[in-house]
A and B are shown apart, each in its own frame.
Chain A
Amino acid sequence: MQLTLWTYEGPPHVGAMRVATAMTDVHYVLHAPQGDTYADLLFTMIERLPRRPPVTYTTFQARDLGGDTAELFKDAARQAMARFNPAAMLVGSSCTAELIQDDPGGLAQALQLTIPVVALELPSYQRKENWGASETFYQLCRHLVHKPADPSETANKPAKARPSCNILGPSALGFRHRDDVKEITQLLNQLGVDVAVVAPLSASVADVQKLAEADFNVVLYPEIGLAAAQWLQRQFDQPYTKTVPLGSHATRDFIAEVCTLTGLPQPAQDPSNAHAHWYAKSVDSTYLTGKRVYIFGDATHVVAAARIASQEMGFEVVGLGSYSREFAREVRDCGKRYGVEALITDDYLEVETQIQSLQPELILGTQMERHIAKRQGIPCAVISAPVHVQDFPARYAPQMGFEGANVLFDTWVHPLMMGLEEHLIGMFREDFEFHAGAAPSHLGSTRPAAENVAPIVAAPVSAPLSAPVATTTPMPVAAHAPTETLSTDSVQKVAAPAQAASNQATWSPEAEKELGKIPFFVRGKARRNTERFAQDQGVATITVETLYDAKAHYSR
């Protein structure tokens, strides 16, 4: 048994629903108790689908258990067939039906339906949502994909025909899948590649049957599409792409990979809409250098985000992790590249603890990390499912390709203080609008300023308005030094509980006042560093001198 307050992934049958709902003419008959229909509203509310997911539930109740739940299943399948007239049917059990051990596959077979019926074995007490989606899509491929026409006929194809590929992995309830497909389709078309089938999203049974006819596969989301792609390679020698085009660098690698696979010439230049690279080089972005970032989400998005953060944004990756156990090895390897140990867990409390000890300046994560970040007053951007309704936006917002890189740049930088804004705050830090207690503008003016300071120490920050104007004389580095000079090894020091340290050293009123001049977004760290320094040095009262000694110490 595992105590769970929040879960990153749903049960595997929700993954199967994601595949069924993505497709156009598949129906899923799910042996499940009354109540499991709750999952419908993930699709109708979060993704705002204007139709019901194509799922029929047997919704058995306690009084059915003594009787014939198998008959109930057969009735449901028969009625779903008559009403929805699908081109293929998925049948399976939810967690409770798994326990009562009816056999949906065998029962459906007995009905002798005229359409392909795919029986799903989704072990609910071992596996989770993404695995369920991957397995469902793989089983659909195994049952549906036709052998392509004879190679000799293929050879007779007109010589000028463009190479073609399938896009595998996008599904219902996928984070930005809709726009990623659009972006990557455009990108492939510009290279000279036709997209034959996108699956499972918007695919029909007939589309899936044709999968083997394309020249190669593009795996956009390995969590869902990789198993099917590997099978297609084994069965039909159909190669698949290994690079996920998330970020400018990865998109270029992806283009190179596609060109190698197809023999097409590589474009000499990025397209005219590739702005992210220049934005990151522009001087306003200098302040992003070395920002300490923590990354958590599904494996694909985490591995990609780490590369973007480090190579394209100039951040320092101080921690990363994933809830995708199936891809733990990839995430661990990725962690090694940045000198951090990857956290593989589905327990958000572990993630929260790690974030607390690392005190990053930016968190990239799921909606769970968004809430952790809000509690800790740390800027955050969402990079991975699970996400809430606001991350299924009306506007075009891909993550992949060059437009995706633009979107990522904006999304990640927005919660941070822009360079110019940071500079101005340093300059006017005694100004009434930028006084010590003022909340960051992006957190809203109503946010009580105390929240920024409160978790660190109880002592109030001196009233900033009365502070002498003379202190505008430069100490601009003070604002940034403690942040920027923190390397991974000094992180360990920060990790020590702040509370214990603050109990031991007393702040002199002058030092407290001086501390108040440091902008709020680094003040907590400056305070902690100073206290740790004071403790190490055996200083009982922290004076202005101690403050600057500590600053010098940590700047080395």
Chain B
Amino acid sequence: MPLVERGQREVFCGLTGIIWLHRKIQDAFFLVVGSRTCAHLIQSAAGVMIFAEPRFGTAIIDERDLAGLADVHEELDRVVGQLLARRPDIRLLFLVGSCPSEVIKLDLSRAAERQNQIHHPKVRVLNYSGSGIETTFTQGEDACLAAMVPGLPASAADTAPALMVVGTLADVVEDQMRSLFDRMGLQVSFFPPRNSQAMPAVGPGTRYLLAQPFLADTARALQSRGAQHLPAPFPLGVEGTTAWLQAAATELGVAPEVFEQATAAPRQRAEKALAVQRQMLQGQRIFFFPDSQLEIPLARFVHRELGMDLVEVGTPYLHRQHMAAELALIPAGTRISEGQDVDLQLDRCIADAPDLVVCGLGLANPLEAQGITTKWAIELVFTPIQGYEQAADLAGLFSRPLKRRLKLAA
């Protein structure tokens, strides 16, 4: 049983998902309806990206909106009009709810409907919530994808089973996966798509693999459209990637020798590259603070393929069903924690004195200053880490801070 904690949480809210989602769906714009804090958060998280005419922004609620002096919906009309005039290339607009908009019960679904009528057919308008009160970090992607599911085209009821990969993957990873499935003779669609005009179809024939562990609501929404989930570990490391591909291959009737032929070369290449990293990481003790829900699959990877010892694996939210295949691969008795009370968790962490701590940027430097080596977690979300070709890169993310510590100590 995991340790379940409630208390102060040092985590991002779901708005942060916009940072990678907007890069994936190239004709979408994400308009947060929130406060200056929301704008400041996205700006701080996006860093330098903010200056490249990014496809996200904030409609800042001000006192006139709160006092009811301005009709919020009319205000939103004005802001959306202003935005779309400035960015005529936008075809899909997300109105993204925040804590302030949720607390004042601003009905963004109604607002989205209204905007849809105004801007149809050029722009489609959807809404979801990325608020901190409802979502933690990567759950923002879940909410976004779940909002898109009802609008996906329906595939014909009698079509043969088709494969869909669900969850944002870096384009380079997506291309690799597509080519692996090609070699197995499988047609595959990816969700979210790179362009809002190329939404994948969904229906009872759809079999979907989750590429990311944080997609509970999206999975539920796909299920309600008749799609079937293929349970599998997540495609991190050689083992995870192989098992993930295997789940699809088995379901869709790929012959074992075809599977072997398609995966043998990249698998061996990745194993060879991992062996180098393993020397550095074998026997090192690692502690994960909760951040993205990627922690359990990452812990499985570093333990089984790199020989690291797991001290604590924290996750903001544990979806037992989606995580079942992963949990089966984690040694029994591993301390898994769900939720957070950050001060207590820091006490545990310092008492455990792990060799490497995976945590957010708010904790990383303070822990380093106490002599504890850290790996900041957000990088694991922004960097391509899935699949065979990235397995060693992923391992490198863990070994680099340790290597650096050795170098500077020398």
Residues of chain A touching chain B, judged by Cβ–Cβ distance below 8 Å, are: 1-7, 9-11, 13-14, 33-42, 44-45, 48-52, 56-62, 64-65, 76, 79, 83, 94-96, 99-100, 123-126, 128, 368, 371, 375, 388
Residues of A within 8 A of B368 (CB): 50
- Contacts A5-B50, A33-B13; is A57 near B365 (CB within 8 Å)? no
- Contacts A1-B72, A5-B57; is A45 near B36 (CB within 8 Å)? no
> Could you tell me the distance in whole angstroms from the C-beta of B198 to the nearest C-beta in chain A?
27
Verify A14–B60 contact, CB threshold 8 A.
no
Does B102 have its Cβ within 8 Å of any Cβ on chain A? yes
Verify A371–B51 contact, CB threshold 8 A.
yes
- Contacts A36-B37, A96-B103, A99-B104; is A52 near B61 (CB within 8 Å)? no
> Could you tell me the distance in whole angstroms from the C-beta of B118 to the nearest C-beta in chain A?
16
Verify B365–A126 contact, CB threshold 8 A.
no
Does B173 have its Cβ within 8 Å of any Cβ on chain A? no
Verify A38–B45 contact, CB threshold 8 A.
yes
Pairs A-B, 4 closest by C-beta atoms: A35-B13, A35-B132, A50-B369, A40-B362
Residues of A within 8 A of B365 (CB): 44-45, 48-50
> Could you tell me the distance in whole angstroms from the C-beta of B316 to the nearest C-beta in chain A?
9
Does B15 have its Cβ within 8 Å of any Cβ on chain A? yes
Verify B8–A59 contact, CB threshold 8 A.
yes
Residues of A within 8 A of B102 (CB): 62
Verify B362–A11 contact, CB threshold 8 A.
no
Residues of A within 8 A of B48 (CB): 388
Residues of B within 8 A of A64 (CB): 133
The distance in angstroms between the C-alpha atoms of A349 and B61, with both chains bound, is 19
CB nearest neighbor in B for A389 = B47
Does B63 have its Cβ within 8 Å of any Cβ on chain A? yes
From B39, B50, B133, give the contact of A61 (CB < 8 A).
Answer: B133
Does B58 have its Cβ within 8 Å of any Cβ on chain A? yes
> Could you tell me the distance in whole angstroms from the C-beta of B58 to the nearest C-beta in chain A?
5
> Could you tell me the distance in whole angstroms from the C-beta of A477 to the nearest C-beta in chain B?
37
Verify A1–B39 contact, CB threshold 8 A.
no
The distance in angstroms between the C-alpha atoms of A193 and B35, with both chains bound, is 45
* Contact stretch, chosen from B78-86, B186-194, B215-223: B78-86
Residues of B within 8 A of A128 (CB): 36
Residues of chain B touching chain A, judged by Cβ–Cβ distance below 8 Å, are: 7-16, 33, 35-37, 39-41, 43-45, 47-48, 50-51, 54, 56-63, 65-66, 70, 72, 75-76, 78-79, 82-83, 99-100, 102-104, 131-134, 136, 343, 360-366, 368-369
CB nearest neighbor in B for A41 = B361
Verify B343–A83 contact, CB threshold 8 A.
yes
> Could you tell me the distance in whole angstroms from the C-beta of A325 to the nearest C-beta in chain B?
13
From A59, A65, A99, give the contact of B100 (CB < 8 A).
Answer: A99
- Contacts A6-B43, A124-B35; is A33 near B132 (CB within 8 Å)? yes
Verify A7–B99 contact, CB threshold 8 A.
no
Residues of B within 8 A of A51 (CB): 366, 369
From A7, A49, A62, A99, give the contact of B36 (CB < 8 A).
Answer: A7
Interface of B: prevailing SS:
helix
Verify B366–A7 contact, CB threshold 8 A.
no
- Contacts A3-B83, A50-B366; is A11 near B36 (CB within 8 Å)? yes
- Contacts A41-B360, A61-B133; is A10 near B36 (CB within 8 Å)? yes
The distance in angstroms between the C-alpha atoms of A124 and B33, with both chains bound, is 15
> Could you tell me the distance in whole angstroms from the C-beta of A222 to the nearest C-beta in chain B?
22
Residues of A within 8 A of B59 (CB): 1-4
Verify A37–B82 contact, CB threshold 8 A.
no
CB nearest neighbor in A for B35 = A95
Verify B12–A35 contact, CB threshold 8 A.
yes
The distance in angstroms between the C-alpha atoms of A57 and B37, with both chains bound, is 14
Residues of A within 8 A of B47 (CB): 388
Interface of A: prevailing SS:
mixed
> Could you tell me the distance in whole angstroms from the C-beta of A339 to the nearest C-beta in chain B?
31
Verify B44–A3 contact, CB threshold 8 A.
no
Residues of A within 8 A of B36 (CB): 4, 7, 9-11, 95, 124, 128
Verify B40–A96 contact, CB threshold 8 A.
no
Verify B60–A4 contact, CB threshold 8 A.
yes
> Could you tell me the distance in whole angstroms from the C-beta of A482 to the nearest C-beta in chain B?
30
The distance in angstroms between the C-alpha atoms of A5 and B43, with both chains bound, is 8
Most chain B CB atoms below 10 A, which of A2, A83, A371: A2
Verify B12–A126 contact, CB threshold 8 A.
no
CB nearest neighbor in A for B47 = A388
Verify B41–A38 contact, CB threshold 8 A.
yes
CB nearest neighbor in A for B365 = A44
Q: What are 5 A-B pairs at a CB distance below 8 A?
A: A1-B62, A2-B59, A6-B51, A36-B37, A95-B37
> Could you tell me the distance in whole angstroms from the C-beta of A544 to the nearest C-beta in chain B?
39
CB nearest neighbor in A for B364 = A44
The distance in angstroms between the C-alpha atoms of A95 and B66, with both chains bound, is 12
The distance in angstroms between the C-alpha atoms of A100 and B9, with both chains bound, is 19
CB nearest neighbor in A for B140 = A35
> Could you tell me the distance in whole angstroms from the C-beta of A405 to the nearest C-beta in chain B?
30
From B11, B60, B76, give the contact of A35 (CB < 8 A).
Answer: B11
The distance in angstroms between the C-alpha atoms of A94 and B70, with both chains bound, is 23
CB nearest neighbor in A for B368 = A50
Residues of A within 8 A of B45 (CB): 38
Residues of A within 8 A of B50 (CB): 5-6
Verify A1–B343 contact, CB threshold 8 A.
no
Verify B8–A58 contact, CB threshold 8 A.
yes
> Could you tell me the distance in whole angstroms from the C-beta of B159 to the nearest C-beta in chain A?
39
> Could you tell me the distance in whole angstroms from the C-beta of B59 to the nearest C-beta in chain A?
5
- Contacts A1-B70, A62-B134, A125-B63; is A34 near B41 (CB within 8 Å)? no
The distance in angstroms between the C-alpha atoms of A125 and B12, with both chains bound, is 22
> Could you tell me the distance in whole angstroms from the C-beta of A403 to the nearest C-beta in chain B?
28
- Contacts A35-B13, A99-B100, A124-B37; is A2 near B60 (CB within 8 Å)? yes
> Could you tell me the distance in whole angstroms from the C-beta of B53 to the nearest C-beta in chain A?
8
> Could you tell me the distance in whole angstroms from the C-beta of A96 to the nearest C-beta in chain B?
4
Known pairs A5-B54, A5-B57, A61-B132 / 19 extra A-B pairs, C-beta < 8 Å: A1-B60, A4-B58, A13-B37, A33-B13, A34-B11, A35-B136, A37-B8, A37-B9, A37-B11, A39-B40, A39-B44, A42-B44, A44-B365, A50-B365, A51-B369, A59-B9, A62-B133, A64-B133, A95-B37
Verify B366–A44 contact, CB threshold 8 A.
yes
The distance in angstroms between the C-alpha atoms of A61 and B108, with both chains bound, is 19
Residues of B within 8 A of A61 (CB): 132-134
The distance in angstroms between the C-alpha atoms of A4 and B60, with both chains bound, is 7
CB nearest neighbor in B for A96 = B99
> Could you tell me the distance in whole angstroms from the C-beta of B144 to the nearest C-beta in chain A?
16
> Could you tell me the distance in whole angstroms from the C-beta of A346 to the nearest C-beta in chain B?
10
Verify A11–B40 contact, CB threshold 8 A.
yes
Residues of A within 8 A of B16 (CB): 38
The distance in angstroms between the C-alpha atoms of A13 and B40, with both chains bound, is 12
Verify A52–B133 contact, CB threshold 8 A.
no
Residues of B within 8 A of A95 (CB): 35-37, 99-100
Verify A125–B54 contact, CB threshold 8 A.
no
> Could you tell me the distance in whole angstroms from the C-beta of B238 to the nearest C-beta in chain A?
33
The distance in angstroms between the C-alpha atoms of A424 and B16, with both chains bound, is 50
Residues of A within 8 A of B41 (CB): 35-36, 38
> Could you tell me the distance in whole angstroms from the C-beta of B142 to the nearest C-beta in chain A?
15
The distance in angstroms between the C-alpha atoms of A153 and B114, with both chains bound, is 73
Most chain A CB atoms below 10 A, which of B36, B39, B45, B363: B36
